A and B are shown apart, each in its own frame.
Chain A
Amino acid sequence: MSIRGFFPALPALILLLAFFLFPVVRMLGFSVEAGTLDWYAKALGEGLYLQVFWNTFEIALLVTGFCLLLGYPLGFLIATTTPTWATLGFIFVLLPLWTSVLVRTYAWMVLLGRNGIVNRWLLDAGIISDPLPLLHNFTGVLIGMVHVLLPYMVLPIYGAVRRLDPAIAAAAQGLGASNWRIFWRIYIPLTLNGIFAGSVLVFVLSLGFFITPALLGGGRVMMIAVLIEQQVRETLNWPFAAALSFVLLAFTFAVYALAQRFTRLEGNT
């Protein structure tokens, strides 16, 4: 491409340079301030912090799993139903996406609290005798994050199912396949790229998630982004926060690179 081709992109490039690349480099500078890698050693060496990383991975993995479990049928349904239902489905998927994460998270606090709507309904119905602990714990974070991230799973899966020629499923049916077998032998393998794209997206977004775990976890569920914020706000330990950020960034890149390799292999079939 000639140099001229860059001109229209210049404002965006300058913006990225000034407000993204520059701060990132600054942060990198913070993390190695003393000319040593001590902060990295602390982030990766102390059990406490490793535990936070591990928690983060565990939550991200679970969130991805639940999103897939809920998102595949939903994406599939929207892709294969009549246009009217598809539009309705889209509205339900996209509406939360257009609402602020903060608003949605507060809504979940109202729903999940000890005296929240869910607990009161279950108590009134006589299904439970004591309120379930749904808020300020692992379960609450999980529920909130799955809800917030679900659209990122549904949309790629919807796209993958849409791209399939409906005649292929019809052919399988005509050849004697039950719906169950069509699903496992035809749909799943042929929509793997969508499943994969959605999963990577949800997983990567989960790794750095802040608002939902901070509010629904109530300080008791420590994810890496929550820890970083604590380091900056409460202990003013910028170098350590910076080191933690870069470890997270490195992990995210690693996941992404792995995913890229995998998709390239996928793409050949």
Chain B
Amino acid sequence: MAERERTRTAELNVEGVTKRFGEVLALDGVSLAVAEGELLTILGPSGSGKTTLLKVVAGFETPDAGTVRVDGAAITNLPPARRDIGMVFQNYALFPHLTVRGNVAFPLEMRNVGRAEIERRVGDALALVELAGYEARLPRQLSGGQQQRVALARAIVFNPRLLLLDEPFGALDRKLRETMQLEVRRLQRRLGLTTIFITHDQEEALVLSDRIAVMNKGTIQQVATTTEIYERPANDFVADFVGESNIFHGTLTEPGVVTLSAGRRLMVNRAGRVGDRLGVLMRPERFAPSGANTFSGEVLEAVYLGASFKLRLGCADGLELLVRQPARGTLPAAGQHIEVGIDPDAIHVF
């Protein structure tokens, strides 16, 4: 079964898609390429256009401009029913009057698959999501996690060319969410199914994805691997949205030195042209007790987080830093003076 699905899966290309709702520009010339078998996450705050993009791909919205291609063929004007795309909705959208079997069999019945074949494939799909034995239950007799699995089984049972997941874990509690994330990842790898996953949760995006596309205000800010997104964000928005960050702006005053507006000089690994306006990102966990750049300041706030200390540091020149230290020794008290450092390698300039 897995073998056949691998041959059916597809690559997706979104080319210059624009969608306007009245005055609001929901998608502003979005282009995106998803490779065959890849899991790409679209990450963005609510209102960033990520759900609209998914609806355009699924066929529930028609773009004002642009093209959606699956394996090179334009599907922009194809109705959803003829796109062969599996989708898991935010609230699962299970058919409440049909049993688990009825729900999973639905897409096969719509394709006029024979009875015995339906029985076999529903069995396979339910086994895949570990729900064998639940065939006769109704959706409301299942827990949230189980409903989720039914929705997933229903979305993959007909060997779709793409799988779309629209914030599917939003309604689950943290523990279950983590389990389901890993499970979806396992399933997606096993089937080799090209998948687009939508979330506003950056942690979830990091756990699941091959690559992440960060969206804001209807445009894609950056598409890159998870490490790339975290370590080398393209702009303020990405740096701020993914993970905790200290972001400053300054000017390259000489090669390898950025001078911040407060007057502080930072050693960085960046040649560039003198006079360039640059952004500087320092991740809180990259600070060490000492380094090429040092910051001494007063602890404004200190929080114990089990594995680490989270500190807010106020420097004499007005700079405020978020710092994470491994939780060793005692938690620094507020008002205490400490010194931290960071090497040029650990600073990202953009």
- Contact present for B80 and A170 (CB under 8 Å): yes
Which chain B positions have C-beta within 8 A of A170?
Answer: 60, 80, 89, 93
Which chain A positions have C-beta within 8 A of B97?
Answer: 189-190, 269
Which chain B positions have C-beta within 8 A of A189?
Answer: 97
In the bound complex, CA of A13 to CA of B168 (Å): 52
- Contact present for B107 and A190 (CB under 8 Å): no
Residue from A165, A171, A178, A185 having most chain B Cβ neighbours under 10 A: A171
| Pick from A167, A177, A178, A269: contact of B106, CB under 8 Å | A177
Counting CB contacts under 8 A, is A186 at the interface? Answer: yes
* Chain B residue nearest in CB terms to A178: B81
- Contact present for B110 and A167 (CB under 8 Å): no
Which chain A positions have C-beta within 8 A of B138?
Answer: 269
**Overall SS of chain A's interface:** helix
Counting CB contacts under 8 A, is B350 at the interface? Answer: no
A170-B60, A170-B80, A171-B87 known; A176+B93 contact, CB < 8 A = no
**CB neighbors of B among A140-197 (8 A):** 165, 167-168, 170-178, 181, 185-186, 189-190
In the bound complex, CA of A178 to CA of B138 (Å): 24
| Pick from B59, B79, B89, B95: contact of A186, CB under 8 Å | B95
Counting CB contacts under 8 A, is B96 at the interface? Answer: yes
| Pick from B90, B91, B106: contact of A175, CB under 8 Å | B106
* Chain B residue nearest in CB terms to A181: B110
- 0/1 interface trace, chain B 194-220, chain A, CB 8 Å (1 if under): 000000000000000000000000000
- Contact present for A167 and B91 (CB under 8 Å): yes
| Pick from B87, B95, B111: contact of A174, CB under 8 Å | B87
In the bound complex, CA of A189 to CA of B106 (Å): 14
| Pick from B81, B94, B95, B154: contact of A173, CB under 8 Å | B81
Counting CB contacts under 8 A, is B85 at the interface? Answer: yes
Which chain B positions have C-beta within 8 A of A186?
Answer: 95
- Contact present for A167 and B90 (CB under 8 Å): yes
Which chain A positions have C-beta within 8 A of B241?
Answer: none
Which chain A positions have C-beta within 8 A of B110?
Answer: 175-178, 181
| Interface size, B (range) | 20 to 34
Q: Closest CB-CB distance, A193 to chain B, in whole Å?
A: 11
Total of A-B residue pairs, C-beta within 8 Å:
62
In the bound complex, CA of A172 to CA of B155 (Å): 11
- 0/1 interface trace, chain B 281-313, chain A, CB 8 Å (1 if under): 000000000000000000000000000000000
**CB neighbors of A among B144-199 (8 A):** 154, 158
In the bound complex, CA of A172 to CA of B58 (Å): 12
* Chain B residue nearest in CB terms to A164: B96
Residue from B80, B84, B86 having most chain A Cβ neighbours under 10 A: B80
- 0/1 interface trace, chain A 2-14, chain B, CB 8 Å (1 if under): 0000000000000
In the bound complex, CA of A166 to CA of B60 (Å): 12
Q: Closest CB-CB distance, B80 to chain A, in whole Å?
A: 5
Which chain B positions have C-beta within 8 A of A185?
Answer: 106
In the bound complex, CA of A172 to CA of B80 (Å): 9
In the bound complex, CA of A178 to CA of B83 (Å): 12
In the bound complex, CA of A144 to CA of B110 (Å): 41
In the bound complex, CA of A178 to CA of B112 (Å): 12
Q: Closest CB-CB distance, B40 to chain A, in whole Å?
A: 19
- Contact present for B59 and A174 (CB under 8 Å): yes
* Chain A residue nearest in CB terms to B83: A174
Which chain B positions have C-beta within 8 A of A174?
Answer: 58-60, 80-81, 83, 85-87
A189-B97, A190-B97 known; A173+B79 contact, CB < 8 A = yes
Q: Closest CB-CB distance, A189 to chain B, in whole Å?
A: 5
* Chain B residue nearest in CB terms to A192: B97
In the bound complex, CA of A168 to CA of B59 (Å): 15
In the bound complex, CA of A262 to CA of B267 (Å): 79
B residues near A (Cβ < 8 Å) are: 58-60, 79-87, 89-91, 93-97, 106-107, 110-111, 138, 154, 158
Give me 7 A-to-B residue pairs in the complex whose CB atoms sit less than 8 angstroms apart, sorted by A's number: A168-B96, A170-B80, A174-B60, A175-B154, A176-B110, A178-B81, A178-B110
Given contacts A165-B93, A185-B106, 9 further A-B pairs with CB under 8 A are: A167-B90, A171-B94, A174-B60, A175-B86, A175-B110, A176-B107, A177-B106, A190-B97, A269-B138
Top 5 A-B residue pairs of the complex, sorted by shortest distance between their CB atoms: A176-B110, A171-B93, A175-B107, A167-B93, A173-B80
